[in-house]
Amino acid sequence: MRKAVVVRKTKEVEISVDLNIDGTGESQIETNIKFLNHLLTTLTKHSLFDLSLQAKGDLKHHVTEDVALALGESVKKALEEGKGIRRFGTAYVSMDESLARAVIDLGGRPYAIIDLNINQPKIEDLIMEDIEHFFTSFAQSSKINLHLTVLYGSNEHHKIEAAIKAMALALREAAALEPRIIDRIPSAKGVL
């Protein structure tokens, strides 16, 4: 089983993450930010990762950022050197009138292009800037290449939900084991 435990403790936050990539989508999440809880639960459900995550902190911005950093670190740690993974994942997800696309490379080169096509400053109890920063911070700490785009939509909540679902499905595909290369790293360089 590909698992990782990460604890992140600073003067601003205290976060614990217990991740199982080969799970069934079960989660126990508490961040004291309702919309962030919703996003993480949705990510877990559709990636089929099992996640136990508790977070406490002083400001929503700090909690959101550090949750993303700890979660990304746990993904990187659980995947280890990347032997046998498919490495690449792509998904399109619709949520009523909204359509999102996620493209992921677990190749060890952190980069994020995030275009959520949001037209309001806040969704539920989280400001848009922090939602975008969540995705960028996750990509950096997990060392993945993430291209996440909301192609269209009119409901801001639906746009973000389609985006997190697309990311979850692309992550699930990229992290899946490929039986033909189970003992090899999927890179011409020999390392990710």
pLDDT band at residue 190, thresholds of 50, 70 and 90? confident
Q: Which domain holds residue 61?
A: 3-181
In a domain, 192, yes or no: no
Question: What's the CA gap between 185 and 192, in Å, rounded?
Answer: 7
Question: What's the CA gap between 179 and 116, in Å, rounded?
Answer: 35
Question: What's the CA gap between 164 and 158, in Å, rounded?
Answer: 10
Q: Where are the alpha helices (DSSP H) in the chain?
A: 34-47, 60-79, 128-142, 156-175
> pLDDT tens across 27-83, in order?
999 999 999 999 999 999 999 999 999 999 999 999 999 999 999 999 999 999 999
* Residue 23, token pair as written in the block: 């799970």
* Residue 25, token pair as written in the block: 């989508």
In a domain, 17, yes or no: yes
β-pair partners for 15: 8, 55
> pLDDT tens across 125-134, in order?
999 999 999 9
In a domain, 39, yes or no: yes
In a domain, 188, yes or no: no
For residue 74, the domain's CATH number is: 3.30.230.40
Rounded to 10 deg, the angle between the 60-79 and 128-142 helix axes is 30
β-pair partners for 50: 20
Count CB atoms within 10 A of the CB of residue 173. Answer: 18
In a domain, 190, yes or no: no
In a domain, 104, yes or no: yes
pTM over 0.85: yes
Residue type, 79: L
Question: What's the CA gap between 189 and 157, in Å, rounded?
Answer: 41
Domain count across the chain = 1
In a domain, 48, yes or no: yes
- Cβ atoms of residues 25 and 48 within 8 Å: yes
- Cβ atoms of residues 186 and 85 within 8 Å: yes
Question: What's the CA gap between 39 and 36, in Å, rounded?
Answer: 5
DSSP string for residues in 75-141: HHHHHTT-TTB--EEEEEEEETTEEEEEEEE-SS--EEEEE----SSEETTEEHHHHHHHHHHHHHH
> pLDDT tens across 82-123, in order?
999 999 999 999 999 999 999 999 999 999 999 999 999 999
In a domain, 189, yes or no: no
